[in-house]
Amino acid sequence: MSGRLRVGRLTAVFARALVLALAGCTASTGPRPNVLIVVIDTLRADRVSCYGYERPTTPHIDALCARGVRFENASSTSSWTVPAHASLFTGLFPILHGATQEHVRLTGSASTLAEILGAHGYATFAASDNPLVGPRTGLDRGFDTFVETWRDNEERDPDPYLHPNLGAVTRFLAGLEPDRPFFVFANYIEPHGPYAPPEPHRSQFLSPDTDPALVRSTLRRNAAGYYLDPGSISAREFAVLNDLYDGEVARVDALVGALVDSLERSGHADDTLLVITSDHGENIGDHGHFRHVFSLYRTTVRIPLILILPDGRRAGEVRSEPVGLVDLFATVLRQCGIEPPTGAISGRDILGDPGEHPIFAEYYYPLQVLDLFSPDALEAKREIFEPYLHRLRSVEAGDWRFVWSSSGRHALFDLARDPEELRNLAGTPDSAEIEHRLRALLDGFVERAGGEPPLPAELQSNSGRPAAFDDLDSESARRLRELGYIR
């Protein structure tokens, strides 16, 4: 028994050394803070009060802002959950980690934050309320324990203290080995559609005279119906959807407040690096879109990013340079005294390396959305879907943003004059020089990554469409249907 135990320990030690060697990391020295990363799925930066929103949606997050460093111009690497989380965990853009709309799984050899922190002695734990963040997509890699809280329907109640993420994380903190640092990741899905917050948040931002029948009909709206029949959601319904979305933001704000209370009660708050962010934003009628599909507008890639450092260091600091979700990997490792792998990652330490850098985002061929529609419906509505059957890649530098499309329908926005991206200047003579310059930045980005990745074989040969989601267990299928991913 003891022999087996020793072999087991040696295997674990060897595995950790191997992860460190493969990742090219050096051993940590100095203090090792705990890390708690909270991803609020589908949270637009411009709906958070401390990011300038006029509605008081986020009192708890606002209070955290005052205690930490707020990055007011942060972006995700994509407008979708899987590529964004894979970038958060690997420090790589989608073109390098390969978990995209075309290949819905992290399968590459890149080391993850959980693997590296685990190899440095951290206890690693995740609670995910999104079925697309977990074992199904390979995003559980490296965590000692990964709890799919979305499978837990018992601990759900309007009372935030009964949310399954809170229960899971609180139990983990209570069972910690003394003096062992931890890395906890939690995904909250509340702002993701359908927007149906419980009271008191459901009514919080609805006008009191809103017709209850209108609210009921609006709650039945989904992306599939909208794209099959554009115009089917009225301006009044989009107004209600926006009010309900804000209610979901207020609801998740209370949940995050409860989680931070639990961290404080555990006694670990002062030696924990707390990160509050999101994986992507949302279109709620913006740009003729609904939900976070088919596009890379800033409504879908701008995210909040707040870092609360141990012992209240740098409290109240606001940073305006453009930064990305992809930067968290290097930033968190440095905070833990671990030198990030050199040359192998896309991100940088944004707490230690200020400066202007272009911001990139990517959207791959939308296989994950097309699963929503029957082949007959896609064929019958070909003229609607055809413009969306493309890859997109965006770059933002200074006041300009360029969105390349594999279909050739590019877009260029002058953010100083047009922050809402309403006037496409691509192809206009006055903007030719800036368009050329931004396109060269994107070309360099692709070249450094080894070139444009090939399309899935089925799409290249026109022999059909590979399924984005296959082998679903019944619970996963039910939840993905509720979230609007499959028929």
| CB closer to Zn ion, 81 vs 346 | 81
Nearest to 128 by CA among 76, 87, 189: 189
Task: Give the number of other Cβ atoms within 10 Å of residue 337's Cβ.
Answer: 15
Stretch that binds Zn ion, among 22-30, 194-202, 278-286, 304-312 (CB under 5 A): 278-286
Beta carbon of residue 413, minimum distance to Zn ion (angstroms, whole number): 24
| CB closer to Zn ion, 79 vs 204 | 79
Identify each DSSP E strand in 84-213 by its residue range: 123-128, 145-148, 182-188
Q: How far apart are CA 311 and CA 151, in angstroms?
A: 35
Helices (H), 229-286: 235-265
Using CB under 5 A as the criterion, what x/- string covers residues 425-454 for binding Zn ion?
Answer: ------------------------------
Beta carbon of residue 225, minimum distance to Zn ion (angstroms, whole number): 21
The type of residue at 382 is R
Cβ within 8 Å of residue 139, ≥6 positions away? 82, 85, 86, 89, 99, 106, 128, 132, 133
Beta carbon of residue 130, minimum distance to Zn ion (angstroms, whole number): 6
Beta bridge partners, 319, equal 71
Cβ within 8 Å of residue 171, ≥6 positions away? none
Beta carbon of residue 195, minimum distance to Zn ion (angstroms, whole number): 14
The reply on whether position 279 binds Zn ion by CB under 5 A is yes
Query: Are 367 and 465 spatial neighbours (Cβ–Cβ below 8 Å)?
Result: yes
| CB closer to Zn ion, 221 vs 292 | 292
Q: How far apart are CA 225 and CA 480, in angstroms?
A: 16
Stretch that binds Zn ion, among 114-122, 231-239, 274-282, 458-466 (CB under 5 A): 274-282
Residue nearest to Zn ion (CB): 81
Structure token digits, residue 377? 């419906």
Stretch that binds Zn ion, among 46-54, 276-284, 434-442, 473-481 (CB under 5 A): 276-284
Cβ within 8 Å of residue 43, ≥6 positions away? 191, 249, 252, 278, 281, 303, 304
| CB closer to Zn ion, 41 vs 349 | 41
The site that binds Zn ion (CB under 5 A) totals a number of residues, namely 3
Stretch that binds Zn ion, among 97-105, 279-287, 327-335, 348-356 (CB under 5 A): 279-287
Helices and strands in the chain: count of H runs, count of E runs: 18, 15
| CB closer to Zn ion, 282 vs 435 | 282
| CB closer to Zn ion, 41 vs 140 | 41
Beta carbon of residue 280, minimum distance to Zn ion (angstroms, whole number): 5
Query: Are 322 and 73 spatial neighbours (Cβ–Cβ below 8 Å)?
Result: yes
Q: How far apart are CA 5 and CA 1, in angstroms?
A: 6
Stretch that binds Zn ion, among 62-70, 272-280, 413-421, 465-473 (CB under 5 A): 272-280
Residues 13-72 contacting Zn ion, CB under 5 A:
41
The reply on whether position 282 binds Zn ion by CB under 5 A is no
| CB closer to Zn ion, 41 vs 246 | 41
Of residues 75, 76, 78, 81, which one binds Zn ion by CB under 5 A? Answer: 81
Beta carbon of residue 235, minimum distance to Zn ion (angstroms, whole number): 26
Residue 163 backbone class (left: φ over 0; alpha: ψ -120 to 50; beta: rest): beta
Contact set with Zn ion (CB under 5 A): 41, 81, 279
